[in-house]
Amino acid sequence: MNYSEWVQSKWVAGLAMTIMVIGACGVPAPPQGDGDIPPQYVGQHMPEGWWGNDAIIEEGRQLYSGIEKPGVNCARCHGKTGRPVKRGALDFRNTDTMKQYSDSRMLWRIAEGVPYSSMGGFKGNLSEDEIWKIIAFTGTFGLSGLQYDPEKKGWVPIGSRQTG
Ligand code: HEC
């Protein structure tokens, strides 16, 4: 290759590196689809009738806020109102971001945590039902009035889903 081709190849490689570095440092985009979710979580969904259920949401709020269990306090990073108080914590108020999560993905991440981040796993402190209650509560921020529909693989208005 001649000199200008060589310069160009270096530039392209440099650009690709830069994009990779920016990509790695920026807010991680949640992957589309549930292909990476471990099998024990992939088919798991919110118990019937829990989305938008006030009693369930209140129990979730107490767990989330650290009132119920001393070892569990999501609010100290994600904020009482879903507005993050720790850098990099997921913003539950952001509807577009939250819509990219399935309920199974939330369950998995809350149970097991996110590697290489301050988001630890809570399965030692929370039962699956307790995690679902928290998800019902955090849903009231950016996903208010919506529930996850496993057939449509998306968020739909609560009650619009036909269940058998
Ligand atoms: C010590 C701070 C901290 C606490 C406590 C904490 N989180 Fe997080 N959480 C984070 C951070 C930081 C991230 C972003 C992790 C990443 O993707 O790099 C995160 C990400 C998440 C995600 C998205 C995971 C993903 O795959 O992107 C969910 C859902 C979540 N937290 C829920 C909770 C819930 C529910 C609790 C309480 C049971 C909780 N978090 C407690 C810091 C925290």
pLDDT in tens, 83-122: 999 999 999 999 999 999 999 999 999 999 999 999 999 9
The residues, any chain, with a CB within 8 Å of residue 22's CB and separated by 6 or more, are: none
Please choose from 62, 77, 116 the residue to mutate so as to test ligand 1's pocket, defined by most ligand atoms within 8 A of CB: 77
Is 28 near ligand 1, meaning CB less than 6 Å away?
yes
Task: Output the CA torsion 96→81→108→51 (10° steps).
Answer: -80
Instruction: Answer whether 63 contacts ligand 1 (Cβ < 6 A).
Output: no
d(C-alpha 98, C-alpha 139), whole Å: 9
Extract the tokens encoding 121.
């796993």
pTM given for the model: 0.85
Helices (H), 3-158: 3-25, 39-42, 54-64, 75-78, 95-98, 103-112, 128-142
Gap between the Cα atoms of 119 and 18, Å rounded:
26
Q: How far is the CA of 149 from the centre of ligand 1 (A)?
A: 23
Domains of the chain: residue spans and CATH:
41-154 (1.10.760.10)
Q: Which pLDDT does position 32 carry in this prediction?
A: 66
**What's the pLDDT tens digit per position in 40-59?**
999 999 999 999 999 999 99
Q: What does the pLDDT read at residue 163?
A: 57
